[in-house]
Chain A
């Protein structure tokens, strides 16, 4: 079991561009959540996907959107990138339990 995998591991984008981050959940997990972790801070909840629908959303603007595919993998899209979007983006997967497992994250740098 490869656990939760995220791609790419690192990414550099220019202000105003758009980015897509990808996540494959742990085998058997059907729920995917995305978090943003700014430097020196704890992760902040962006949104969660279950059965291909956004189930809950944190306090993030509409520039942040997502998708879940039938195989439970997920994408996070961020439009009109700002310098403040630079962060580690973490994906977590779970299966109707309290245990959420995180991937290694994608380090996004906006210049």
Chain B
């Protein structure tokens, strides 16, 4: 994950919006991803965005991509306790290999 960086922790109040940020280094990345991992579990694909897009929305999730700054963000609207998990940003140069960040631990407080 040395090419993808994320802040390690985020605490958010239930009902508020969460914003998780990620920076990547390779401008050749074709796809950028957000995965969710709950304790003791594998990775769940939340959403992904092709590098020629600026934004993608899927229900409560909004992904923003700033290619110039190599910055990706995930916004979760109306955050719920079930959203508490580790969120990983990942990039792919082709369809072969995903490079992950170290993950952002999101804690939702009542």
Contact = CB atoms under 8 A, between A and B. Distances in A.
Contacts of B95: 31, 94, 96-98
Interface in A77-111: 90, 92, 94, 96-105
Interface residues of A, number: 28
A45 B43 CA distance: 14
Given A90-B43, A94-B95, A42 B48 contact: no
Contacts of A103: 42
Contacts of A31: 95
B67 to A, nearest CB: 17
B42 A58 contact: no
Contact of B48 (A35, A96, A98, A102): A98
B60 interface: no
B62 interface: no
Interface residues of B, number: 25
Interface string B26-53: 0000110101000001111100101000
A14 interface: no
Contacts of B92: 98
A45 B99 contact: yes
B97 interface: yes
B100 A43 contact: yes
A98 B31 contact: yes
Interface string B95-110: 1111111110000000
13 contacts: A33-B97, A33-B98, A41-B102, A42-B102, A43-B43, A44-B1, A45-B98, A48-B96, A98-B30, A98-B31, A99-B48, A104-B42, A105-B42
Pairs of residues from A and B, 3 with the lowest C-beta to C-beta distance, nearest first: A42-B100, A42-B1, A102-B43
